[in-house]
Amino acid sequence: MSHHVGPVDSSKIPRYAGRDGFARLPRRDQVEHADIVVAGIPFDSGVSYRSGARFGPNHIREASRLLRPYNPALDVSPFELTQVADAGDIAVNPFDINDAIESIQAAAFDLTADGTRLVTLGGDHTISLPLLRAAAERHGPVALLHFDAHLDTWDTYFGAEYTHGTPFRRAFEEGIIDTEALSHVGTRGPLYGKRDLEDDRRFGFGIVTSADVYRQGVDEVVDRLRDRIGDRPLYISIDVDVMDPAHAPGTGTPEAGGITSRELLEILRGFRGLNLIGADVVEVAPAYDHAEITGVAASHLAYDLVSLLALQHEAAAGTAPAPLPDERDTHV
For 254-265, the pLDDT digits (tens) are 999 999 999 999
With cut-offs at 50, 70 and 90, classify the pLDDT of residue 147. very high
Give yes or no for residue 172 having a pLDDT over 50: yes
With cut-offs at 50, 70 and 90, classify the pLDDT of residue 320. low
Quote the pLDDT of residue 16.
Answer: 87
Quote the pLDDT of residue 331.
Answer: 37
Phi-psi region of 331 (alpha: psi -120 to 50; beta: other; left: phi over 0): beta
Percent of the chain with pLDDT over 70: 95
Give yes or no for residue 47 having a pLDDT over 50: yes
For 1-21, the pLDDT digits (tens) are 458 999 998 888 888 887 889
Answer with the residue of higher pLDDT: 17 or 116.
116
d(CA 257, CA 214): 10
pLDDT (average), residues 157-179: 97
Structural element, H or E, at residue 82: none
Quote the pLDDT of residue 314.
Answer: 85
d(CA 50, CA 8): 35
d(CA 245, CA 11): 34
In CATH terms, the fold of domain 22-325 is Arginase; Chain A (3.40.800)
Global pTM reads: 0.94
Burial zone of 318 (CB within 10 Å; 0-12 exposed, 13-18 middle, 19+ buried)? exposed
Cα–Cα–Cα angle for 72, 241, 74, rounded to 5 degrees: 10
Cα–Cα–Cα angle for 166, 41, 252, rounded to 5 degrees: 55
d(CA 43, CA 169): 20
Domain locations in the chain? 22-325
Choose among 222, 223, 146: nearest CA to 177: 146
Quote the pLDDT of residue 225.
Answer: 98
With cut-offs at 50, 70 and 90, classify the pLDDT of residue 332. very low
Cα 167 to Cα 5, 112, 134, 161, 319: the distances in Å are 36, 21, 14, 9, 37
Cα–Cα–Cα angle for 233, 138, 76, rounded to 5 degrees: 50
Radius of gyration, CA atoms only, the chain: 18
Question: Which positions ≥6 away from 159 have C-beta within 8 Å?
Answer: none
